[in-house]
Amino acid sequence: SKQDKELKIGDLVLALWRPEADDWREVEIKDKDKEGTSFYVHWVDFNRRLDAWIPKSRIDVNTTRDKLRERRERGHKYDEFTHENHDDHEGLGEADLKEHEELTKVKNVNKIQFGRYIVETWYFTPLPREIWKQGDNVIDTLYICEFTLSFYRTKEELERHQKKLTIRHPPGDEIYRNGDVSVFEIDGEKAKIWCQNLCYIAKMFLDHKYLYYDVDPFLFYVVCECDNQGFHVVGYFSKEKESANAFNLACILTLPQHQRKGYGKFIISFSYALSKIEQKLGSPEKPLSDLGKVSYESFWARKLLILLQEIRQRKDPDDRMVSIQELADNTSFTLGDIKNTLDRLQILRYSQGSYYINVNPKIIEYHLAKCGGEGVPVDSSKIHWTPHLTSDRWFR
């Protein structure tokens, strides 16, 4: 038999994506083990969260240019959650992008144990040096205390720590409780290590996140499910204490074990509920991750469509006149986010020098059906919070 050609880092070859379906896809070789039996690959059609080690047996080592071309021409339409159809790296210069790719090309932790869940990670995370540093082997399972967010290399260390554990909630003020859902506000300056560790964990599931060490200027709003064992972290958002651009959210994450339960929309809704109390319009910091973008777009659309439905049913025609400013006052969304959403839904029309909104009930119902549910609802009457007064020292 002819000699298999040697695979090098950077090679583009075909590999078996779903063995049961004999589905071959293009991959880029990112790394390989010393023996040359396993390769770390990036599936070209998909988001980097799916990068993984695969055995050589799943790779067509004799991929030809013709095979690659044929595969590319066959192109597929991919599910919006897996396809690389959204740029998480918007706003990054080419040199930054190259450096980011190089530093983070191979995941350094395969999975984490967090409370009663074992969760596979999606991306590289720059852990504290005492846990992992460049050149160390990949950590197969990192053990994390779900209450103190401390990291342990072994299960025994975690168990020893848990025996002495007294605190079973995040280190901040509980500002919301409704049934078994709570939100805590944590000041990055007062609970520095806890908030940094939260960022390291978040980085395992977000491709771009630059907020690893400097947590002082941020407040963290951590969503928990509570039971008789304590308060279990579900997700969070962070927010600058003073945002020059009126951002009401810097970073948002629902942990994978709690995704698809309606918490993403709860977190977004909560960030706007705080903006309403502050009597400000707010918008999330850009760029959003691919999953963040999907959540926000359906949240904005749903909220505005329901509001327009109500306005449409008003008896007096004069009451059915509505300005974008009025929609903003009602939702705390910025004028830009409202206009972009109405444009995206193609219901903002322009005629004879003025805009009007097409609220044909069939069109509204069609779009509403695509927005999904409202998620876990926020009961604003249960928020106990006053806006922060900050000095100008963040600008100095």
Q: Edge-to-edge, what's the strand order for the sheet holding 251-254?
A: 173-178, 181-187, 218-227, 230-240, 251-254
Residue 285 falls in the annotated catalytic set? yes
* CA angle, 207 then 377 then 338, to 5°: 65
In angstroms, rounded to a whole number, what is the distance separating the alpha carbons of residues 260 and 301? Answer: 18
Place of tokens 């055995």: 55
What CA–CA distances, in Å, run from 109 to 153, 200, 205, 295, 353? 11, 11, 11, 27, 57
Q: Which of 243, 251, 160, 240 is nearest to 200 (CA)?
A: 251
**H helix intervals, 204-289:** 263-278
Please list, residue by residue across 60-92, b when 16 or more beta carbons sit within 10 angstroms of its beta carbon and e when fewer do.
ebebeeeebeebeeeeeeeeeeeebebebeeeb
For the CA atoms of the chain, what is the radius of gyration?
A: 24
Catalytic residue among 28, 84, 285, 297: 285
* Residues 150-159: contacts with CB under 8 Å, at least 24 apart: 150/197, 151/127, 151/197, 151/200, 155/113, 158/113
Place of tokens 């926000």: 296
In angstroms, rounded to a whole number, what is the distance separating the alpha carbons of residues 230 and 311? Answer: 43
In angstroms, rounded to a whole number, what is the distance separating the alpha carbons of residues 227 and 168? Answer: 11
Q: Identify whether the C-beta of residue 267 lies closer than 8 Å to the C-beta of residue 255.
A: no
What CA–CA distances, in Å, run from 301 to 29, 93, 321, 370? 40, 31, 19, 9
Residue 237's beta-bridge partner residues? Answer: 221, 252
The residues annotated as belonging to the active site are: 285
